[in-house]
Amino acid sequence: MRWQWLAVFLWGLTVSTSTAMAADPEGSEALQVLVGPGGSGLEAMAIPDVRCGADTPVAICRMVAEVLRKDMTISFMYSVIPVRSYLADPEADLLDAPSFNDWNNIAARWVIKAEVSGKGPFDAEFRLFNVVDRTSVAVREQSFKGVGDTALRKVVHRFCNGVLEARTGVPGVFDTTIAYSYVAGLGVKGIGAVNMDGEGRTGLVSNGNINTLPAWGFGGVLYTSFIGGQPELYFGKRKLSRDGGHYRKVAVSPDGGKMVASISYGGQSDIYLMSPDGQVLSNLTNTEADEVGPTFSPDGGKIAFVSSASGSPQIYVMGAGGGGMKRISHAGGYNYSPDWGKNGLIVFAAMDGAASDIFTVSESGEMRRLTQNQGFNKDPSWSRDGRYVAFSSSRAEGTGLWIMSADGRYQMLIARGGGIGNIAWEK
């Protein structure tokens, strides 16, 4: 039984010859959100075309408007009203003086307006308005001066982060990056990354071997690579493991002071404590069962992981220094790939026959399903604000990297490609 379930875990480290190749450098997805049952509704928001300076390239203003609309769509808080429905005269509807009556007549609850000037570098101004109250809503960052071409998209994300903060008290995460593994060829996997909005897709690691299980830490991405013939731990091009063990999933503590990793030394796998430079310090589990997939709690005081101690892979929690090991998943015969979120919930995947779905579980054992009858879903990872889950999915609507709201109600494909897995959202 032990080798049977560990073999399925290791399936994520290998490459299926029948899997479609993921074209990594390019690709993003149109604004199409799948809506499930339950949860709260979306508030209507209007985002008119950006007012463009006389010497500002029109393409720049179009890009700014597109980023605003996509960020607000994938916030899963707003429904962006199509531009063709707008009544306001774009010439008369000024940055700081919106035509509230026109926006109210199309049932907009909120309006975002923007203006870009200059030939480059650019000045960018953004405003958020409450149409019902006819008021301007202060956003932390809404004025930007001397912005270069390559930085303009990022300042739009920063404004959108501020919109969520103004509404909820918690900033958005539109400027964060999601890492993943992808199939680069027969018997070859690389590490890629993409922005939350599906743009800026790029390759991080590609060396003609199997590279997998990315994890964020120390300002970059750690991963497992078979470049030396066995699974070893790397940070960039630097090998951290040094003792001949087989290294799999690694996690860095929130304060960056330590790591934990799943390591095997010729037998079953245990969770080991490691120093930031890769030195193995102690065995935290030291059982006859297999333990894999560690993830730190938000405060760094505990570790969640997968153990076969009960006879099948289940989610367990223990102290960050070992001890107090407790099983918290009590449903499902094969639970794997946990990630502990800021909201205190552990998101994980679970096999159910030939299907795999995403669930959350609390430390007290309360479980909630996030996906169902939506294809094969695996490798979930929380956003750092606890609002979203990124995951790999193969379904009728498209295969690739998806994000969804924390309750699973809203879901969106952001990067297409078969063979995408081992998702790790920048914390």
Enclosing H/E stretch for 72: helix 58-74
Q: Tell me, what's the pLDDT at 328?
A: 98
CB 190 within 8 A of CB 201: no
Q: pLDDT category, 12, cuts 50, 70, 90?
A: very low
pLDDT at res. 421:
97
Q: What is the pLDDT of residue 37?
A: 59
Cis peptide before 121 (omega within 30 of 0): yes
Domain with CATH 2.120.10.30 in the chain: 2-30+176-425
Segment 196-213 mean pLDDT: 96
DSSP-derived pairing of the beta strands 211-217 and 220-225? antiparallel
Predicted pLDDT of residue 411: 97
Express each pLDDT in 173-200 by its tens digit.
999 999 999 999 999 999 999 999 999 9
Taking CA atoms, 263 is separated from 1, 248, 292, 380, in Å, by 19, 6, 8, 22
Using alpha carbons, select from 115, 116, 172, 95 the residue that is nearest to residue 140. Answer: 172
The answer on pLDDT for 324 being more than 90 is: yes
Which pTM does this prediction carry?
0.91
Give the homologous superfamily in CATH for domain 41-168.
TolB, N-terminal domain (3.40.50.10070)
Q: What is the dihedral of CA 7, 10, 15, 16, to 10 degrees?
A: 30
Contacts of 58 (CB under 8 A, 6+ apart): 52
Decide if 283 contacts 268 (C-beta within 8 A).
no
Dihedral (CA of 311, 312, 317, 319) sign: positive
Q: Summarize pLDDT for 17-69 with one digit per residue, the tens.
A: 332 222 233 333 445 566 665 556 899 999 999 999 999 999 999 999 999 99
Is residue 153 helix, strand or coil? helix
User: Percent of the chain beyond pLDDT 70?
Assistant: 91
Q: Which CATH class is domain 2-30+176-425?
A: mainly beta
- pLDDT on residue 352: 84
Residues of the chain with CATH 3.40.50.10070: 41-168
Model confidence at 231: pLDDT above 80: yes
Longest alpha-carbon distance in the chain: 73
405 near 387, Cβ under 8 Å?
A: yes
Residue-level pLDDT at 120: 92
